[in-house]
Amino acid sequence: MRLTWLTTELELAEPLRISRSVMARRDAVWVAIEHGGLTGWGEVVSSDHLGLPTSRIVRHLNTARPAVERLPDPETAWEEHLAGPLTGQPGLPAGVLAGLESALLDLVGKRSGRPAHQLLGTPTAPVAQTTRTIGITAPVAAAAQAARLAVSGFTALKVKAGSPDPAEDLVRVEAVRTGAPEASLLLDPNGAWTERQALDLLPRFADLGVTAVEQPIAPGRPDALARVAKESPIPVIADEDAVSYEDAVALAGLVHGVNVKLAKCGGVRAALRIHEALRGSGTDLMLGCLTASSLGIAPAVHLADRARWVDLDGHLLLADDPWTGIGGTDGTVRAADRAGLGVRRTHMAVVR
């Protein structure tokens, strides 16, 4: 097998403001694994929050290349779990492992003529309604965006929160509710509140029709998050507090959901392991993502049938998505029935 990669830049259609940052663009490293005349693709996106600059991604791919290329064929690599041969790579980030695993999954599917979801245990292609994110913005703009999204077919919207003055968040959510009165609303402060603020604010957001909240308080105190979940009138979903398998297991039964992002946990195999560990605990799965192209989002779409909440809109935030194949512009993501991940590159982005 041969491992190569190339780096490009993904630009957002408009800057996305959340409680801790504003993002207008990010790098994407497209990983290619070639064998027998076929190529499998995966994507690793840079992330300041996850401590994954482009230079670190490339450095780890260089380090991992010999171990990947020593594997005899894609099927053996998949059956033995790619993470196994790579465990000797010190500090391999979860996002890099997820990108390599994605490329391998795509390649194994192409060689067998089977779509990724079948390789992952789902006979029929998953179809799911996804949320669409509305950043921290002025109420009038938020209402207008919500209205446009509702007309496009979105039935679930995610509203970012965490303004210095929580009253601004309340006004924004009220505006979104006005713009999309029938939509289900998910709130995401990205850990901006204190425990006391969360307990005071969540009933008020519930009155505005918010149906669930992601990571209302700063990560690092899972006991406090559990207390908030116990008192909250709406489901509480751990995100920044649920990075690894161990994190998710520790929170099982204490929160209503955990947000699994492949770039956080290490890929589809790790996500399936988390899903199995949560079974019967009272804690449901949410599938989330980073801002990425359709290539980067596709592996999670093939798992969408396992999730109670689906937040796979990262490709919809881009000004120009160089890949296609998972839908989403009408509020519904669809795993393709084509072999592998089922995505196609529509054009070549600017390569660095």
**pLDDT tens-digit profile of 76-87?**
989 877 767 776
Question: 16, 133 in Cβ contact below 8 A?
Answer: yes
Question: Given the structure tokens 């989330």, which residue do they identify?
Answer: 288
Report d(CA 124, CA 133) in Å as an integer: 27
Q: Which band of pLDDT confidence, cut at 50, 70 and 90, is reported for residue 225?
A: very high
Residue 200: both structure tokens together: 């005071």
Report d(CA 42, CA 21) in Å as an integer: 26
Please calculate the CA angle 18-20-22 and round it to the nearest 5 degrees: 55
- pLDDT score of 79: 84
For the stretch 114-123, pLDDT in tens is 999 999 999 9
The rounded radius of gyration (Å) of the Cα atoms in the chain is 20
First to last CA, the chain: 24
Report d(CA 209, CA 349) in Å as an integer: 40
Where is pLDDT greater, at 91 or 100? 100
Q: Which band of pLDDT confidence, cut at 50, 70 and 90, is reported for residue 178?
A: very high
Question: Average per-residue pLDDT in the chain?
Answer: 95
Within 13 A of 142's CA, how many CA atoms are on the CB side? 27
Tell me the three state secondary structure of residue 61: helix
- pLDDT score of 89: 67
What residues contact 167, with CB distance under 8 A and at least 6 apart?
Answer: none
Report d(CA 215, CA 22) in Å as an integer: 18
- Burial of 268 from C-beta contacts in 10 A (0-12 / 13-18 / 19+): buried
For the stretch 294-315, pLDDT in tens is 999 999 999 999 999 999 999 9
Task: Say what the pTM is.
Answer: 0.95
Question: 4, 34 in Cβ contact below 8 A?
Answer: yes
How far is Cα of residue 281 from the mean position of the Cα atoms in its chain?
A: 22
Tell me the three state secondary structure of residue 235: coil
User: How would you classify the pairing of strands 132-134 and 344-345?
Assistant: unpaired
For the stretch 129-143, pLDDT in tens is 999 999 999 999 999
Distances (CA, A) of 127 to 110, 331, 350: 21, 11, 31
Report d(CA 186, CA 206) in Å as an integer: 10
